[in-house]
Amino acid sequence: MIGYADLQSGLYIYNTSKLFLSNKLSLVNSANIPSLDNKNDVWHYRLGHLPFNKLKSIVDCTAHPHMNKNILCDICHFAKQKRLPFPDNTSYASHAFDLVHMDVWGPFRVQSYSGFRYFLTIVDDHTRCTWVFMMKTKSEVKFHMMNFYNLINTQFHTKIKIIRTDNGTEFIFPNFYNTHGIIHQLSCVET
């Protein structure tokens, strides 16, 4: 028999007083850590899978001055895995107004003093310049989009090539896009 446990308040309390000293030490060691040859492995487990470079800085606690960093710990590999939701995007438009992002935010819970409940945000992908147009209704998007197109055409002597929006119905103007040679791209919703 290895030991005896009493049931107290729904928990089994292990009674170690009936064991020999050698059995107590053996039981405690086998319960805490699987059999390990290297004392550094023991400290790695006991300190919550501390990285070996941090463990090496604890000079007094290490058994060997030359630690083996090549020890494979399955728990560390699984625990430290991560996957980013989206890869970092380092590709931007090569010229100003080659790609323009547009989105509508609203309605505001409380309208402004002038009665605005929405705003249209336009961001140039190359320069990151941003324009914001306040609106009372979503139907004003077409008006602001056409004015913005004319502004870019006359003031910057260039044309917008691609407009990227979400799937909002307020941006569906196929005649406008076709007339001006603009490509309309749809982005993922809520990103």
More confident residue, 114 or 78: 114
Segments forming the whole domain that contains residue 18: 4-79
The span from the CA of 43 to the CA of 63, in Å, is: 9
27 is a domain residue: yes
pTM, two decimal places = 0.54
Binned at pLDDT 50, 70 and 90, residue 33 comes out as: very low
Same domain for 73 and 19?
Answer: yes
Q: What is the pLDDT of residues 90-111, one digit of tens each?
A: 668 889 999 999 999 999 999 9
The answer to whether 98 and 70 have CB atoms below 8 angstroms apart is no
Residue 146 contacts by C-beta under 8 Å, 6 or more apart in sequence?
176
CATH of the domain at 106: 3.30.420.10
Of 79, 113, 146, which residue constitutes the final position of a domain? 79
Average pLDDT over residues 171-180: 94
Quick one: what percent of the chain has pLDDT higher than 70? 67
Quick one: what percent of the chain has pLDDT higher than 90? 45
Terminal Cα-to-Cα distance of the chain (whole angstroms): 61
Domain tally, the chain:
2
Average pLDDT over residues 76-88: 67
Of 27, 45, 79, which residue constitutes the final position of a domain? 79
The span from the CA of 163 to the CA of 184, in Å, is: 5
